[in-house]
Structure 1
Amino acid sequence: MVGFVLANDGKTVPEVVTSNLEVAARFGAGMQAIDHVPGYAIENITTVYDWASLGDVTIVNPMGSRGQVAFELARNFPNLNFVVQDSKDTIIGAHSTVPSELAGRVTFEEHELFTPQDAKADVYFFRMVFRGLGDAFATQALQAQIPALQPGVKILIQDVVMPEPEIIPLWKDRVARYVAACHTGS
């Protein structure tokens, strides 16, 4: 990820994606390609956490793109409501894509990842966000959540930590790095 930032004059993935339509298109295609990697498909999101145990809650999904994950979770867990946050350019027109049965339970809000969080929620769910940022930017993104945090609020992260080279079988390492490359639009 450091290479991506260096190659783009110090800009992070979100900054580049929102300012360059060609990169945004590659990024979107890469995100869709992840659905074809075993274990990463959006349809699997319902099994990665005991969502029902959260009760009746509001979940903010920073960098939630066009709401695909929120739609899938809301369809399967009627006790969950979502605020999907992303850049202005990403969410343009997204309100019109909310399935009618989820109207009022999934909303969209413009919010940049490194801007202090002002949306109050019970849970903040980051999916496939931090691996694409590198440690310093991931720390910044998490620190930006502090203004909204109250006792009992949860931060849930679904991501993959890249292993050190030669720790896991080569085929697993290649899949993990392929997913990382798709995610960053590299």
Structure 2
Amino acid sequence: MRSWDSAILIVLVTALISAVSSESTGSRSKGFTVQGKLIWPGDIISAASVKLILSTDGTIQKYAWPQPDGKFAIHNVPAGSHLLDVAAVGLVYPQRLPEPLIIRPVGTADYFEKQAPFNLIGFLKTPYGLMIIFGALAVFVLPQLKVDPEEYQEMMRQNAPSSTPAVTASPQRRRQN
């Protein structure tokens, strides 16, 4: 597929010979006529915004625009293999079609990605979220961890037993008793 929104239709022109158009002119024409019908949802686009491009070996040969009812014809097409591109903004067309040509869109084209909803966990995993977390820890938690030396000594005095510390006897003194 090309970067612009159209589907490539591979059409063998020799299979699409229109005997009616060549007989009605009465004279021998230079090529064949490729004709068909293009179907699109009327509420999305109009016939004026749809273009058919016939190319051979990457070289554009002919352009055509469908009529309001969707019918199109490309006259004087030389024999051989050609690519028929349908350029319609917002619609995607299939690549291979059976004869007779009735071209229907297979879906709508999505040009933009859908935005994901806000995810708090995902936000906190980003560098900006981590900066916020560490900043909050530095402001609220770290001051609570600070210990004043005077308060520490006061806590040690309150937790210490009121009697004199017990002296443990050495193993030799234990035998003497």
What band does the TM-score fall into relative to the shorter chain? under 0.3
> More strand per residue: 1 or 2?
2
Computing the radius of gyration from Cα coordinates, the structure with the larger value is: 2
TM-score, with length taken from structure 1: 0.22
> More helix per residue: 1 or 2?
1
